[in-house]
Each structure stands twice: as structure tokens, then as C-alpha cells.
Chains A and B, each alone.
Chain A
């Protein structure tokens, strides 16, 4: 019996081989050996991911330009934006760290939103995938561990506690935008079925 490798799926975590099939929406296929979710389509998932990505992008752009936090004590006050937070490391030899922090909290999340929109926009409209869609989606997947918006917001909470007794801190619009952003990212991720997207890209 010969099988076309294109009809198969190998579990990325344990290498178990399966015949890939299109599932009805809401059903999920998991690896029998290690339990990794392989295929998990959801109804109109492409549209949902595009909508959440646009929402996330708008929130992120707002978060960059609005004030993030303001501190005041003894008649003195100082305000910082998200950009200012990354620039805290811009002095001296640790300057490259400013670049990494800016990438992790702003640039990579924005890139991932843009890459998902680029990949899914034509697919959601029933058109063949755009050029380089595979590369864009792969880069979006690979950069996922490095996009740390949710870790940043927990870091903010810790910083607020540290400042607690010392000064009055007021939360700016960018702080709230970031909080909503975390929820939007989580919702967006729940609609992404990697195999379904790869399959749609391939069948262009």
C-alpha cells in the first residue's frame, strides 16, 4: 500500500504518523500517544483571527502613543510611555537591551498580527494565498515565544506593588489598552488551528 505523504500528518512532538482529514468545526484531533492537539478547526476561524488581529493592532498602536504610567510624590511627577519603558535601557553598554525589550513588547506582537492578517485575508475570502504567505505564517509561529506582551503586564503589576508605599501612581490609557490586548491575544490564539491554515495555504 502506498500513501501520498501529502495526505499524512506527523505529530511535531512525538513523530506519530496519521492520515490527515478535514474535521467538522468544533471537533479536534489529538495525538493518541502524547495528546498534542493536531487539528482543531473552529467555525469561521479565519475571519475571527483577522478581526482579533486588527483589534490587537489598533490597541497596540494606541498603547504606544498614549501615556502608560505616571508617578507623583512631593509635588514632583514623571510620566512614561511604553516606548519610554524600553528606552530605560538605552544608556551605556546595555543599550542593545532596549532594542530587545522594544521587540518583545511592541514590535513582535505587531508583526504577528500583521503576518496573520496577510496570511488569512485572501484565504478567508476564498482566494489563493498571497505570495510568501507560508514564510509569513512560519515566522509568526516561530516568533510566538518571543512576543511577551502578557509577561510585560504582569511585570507592570509587580512594579506597581513595589512603588506602592513610596509614591502615587496613576494608570494611563496605554495601561488599559495593554490589559485588553492580552485578552484579545488569548482569544485570537484559541481560533488558530495551525494545520487548517497550512492546509489552506498549500491548496492555493
Chain B
């Protein structure tokens, strides 16, 4: 489908509010957002946040997320360990929610963002709805990874019964929250308008 874009018309569109400006504007005078040309320079920020997210995702899986003390006995659970614990207690649905939100979504997000960023300007594709769809799914679903952080917060705040039972957050809670935040920033830094620029029209 051939569509006239703002870039083709020699104009810049504001990605925040949709207002169109002549190229001599650096900021949108309606909403105040910075105007960006459609080019690959923004991909650097995508990769920077992506790497930061990946780095923090490693300790998030190695260190305990929850430290449970019951009657003097201490138990430490990692993210995967917590999901497996729920599975053993026959809470299959919730185990799948936690496993999905904390393992599948983050890993899927790393792969999807990397794929979108690498595919920009690729000769074999001309952009299109499937890529935008993937991007929208990544943007929509990424925030839901925070579920586990909230679960840890609620359990730690509530289960404070002294010697009988108490729950404390482990160091993984912080690194997991940072990892989710960084990948959200990575996805937000990706300019979806790049998806639609054909192979010959993406300038670096």
C-alpha cells in the first residue's frame, strides 16, 4: 500500500500528539515533546536499555525473590522456584501466571525487541502490520511482568507474624523490577515508524 508519509512530504510528525511541523522545528509547539526524524539513530537507546535490562535479569533469577521464615526454619525462593512451589501445591493456574509474567514475558520481550531492532531496513522485508502488531503486543504486555514484584510486596507487608511466620523480600525483587523497567524503556525507545520505511528509505 502506498501512503504519503509526513517524512515523504518533507515534514515531521509529532509522535506524542500527531501534530505536523516543518523540519525547522525541534520541539512540538503544541505538546512540547521533542520531534524525531524517522531514522535509525534512536536504535542506540533501544539497545542500551535492552542490555541494561538483560544484565539485571541475570541476578533476578539467581538470587532469592522471597525469604520465608516459619517457626525458625528459613526458606528462600527464586522466581522459578516460587512458580514450581505453586505447581507442587496444585495451584496450576497461578503457577502459570507467575511463570508467564516472570519468565516467558521477559524472555519473549528480549527476543521480540531485538528482532524488531535488527529487522529495521532489512532487504527481505518491507515492514508491515505483523511487525507493528508484535511491537504493540510487546508494549502492552511488558508492564505485566511487574506482577511478581507486587506479589512479593504484598506477601512481605502482610505476613509479619513474628516467630510463627514472616516473609521478607530478597535481592532479586529489586533487580527484577529494574530489569522490567529497563526493557519497558527499551520498547518505548523503539520508533514504530521505522517498521514502515522500506529497505531503501531508511537512513542511518
Contact = CB atoms under 8 A, between A and B. Distances in A.
A8 B7 CA distance: 13
A145 interface: yes
A147 to B, nearest CB: 9
A173 B97 CA distance: 26
A180 B132 CA distance: 32
Given A14-B5, A32-B1, A158 B13 contact: no
Contacts of A80: 154, 157-158
Interface string B84-113: 001001010010011000000000000000
B1 A88 contact: no
Interface stretch (A49-57, A110-118, A131-139): A131-139
Interface string A57-86: 000000000000101011011101000111
A195 B19 CA distance: 9
B97 A158 contact: yes
A191 interface: no
B15 A71 contact: no
B120 interface: no
Interface string A156-171: 1011011111110100
Contacts of A148: 143, 146, 150
Contacts of A186: none
A88 B157 contact: yes
Contacts of B13: 9-12, 15, 17
Contacts of B9: 17
Contacts of A13: 132, 192-193
B18 A198 contact: yes
A96 B177 CA distance: 11
A12 to B, nearest CB: 5
A201 B30 contact: yes
Given A88-B169, A161-B91, A155 B147 contact: yes
Nearest to B175: A94
A146 to B, nearest CB: 8
B159 interface: yes
A165 B20 contact: no
A166 B101 CA distance: 24
B30 A12 contact: no
A151 interface: yes
B60 interface: no
Interface string B131-147: 01000000100111011
Contacts of A10: 5-6, 11, 13-14, 18-20
Given A88-B156, A155-B154, A138 B193 contact: no
B151 A162 contact: yes
Given A16-B5, A159-B154, 15 more contacts: A5-B21, A8-B6, A9-B20, A32-B1, A35-B129, A69-B158, A78-B160, A80-B157, A80-B158, A85-B150, A94-B173, A146-B184, A155-B149, A155-B151, A198-B31
28 contacts: A9-B19, A10-B5, A10-B13, A11-B13, A13-B193, A14-B3, A14-B192, A33-B196, A69-B154, A69-B158, A78-B158, A80-B154, A80-B158, A86-B153, A87-B157, A88-B152, A88-B154, A89-B153, A94-B171, A97-B149, A97-B177, A101-B177, A138-B16, A145-B142, A148-B143, A151-B144, A159-B150, A202-B19
**For the complex of A and B, 8 pairs with smallest distance between CB atoms:** A10-B13, A155-B150, A88-B156, A10-B6, A15-B5, A88-B157, A159-B154, A8-B20
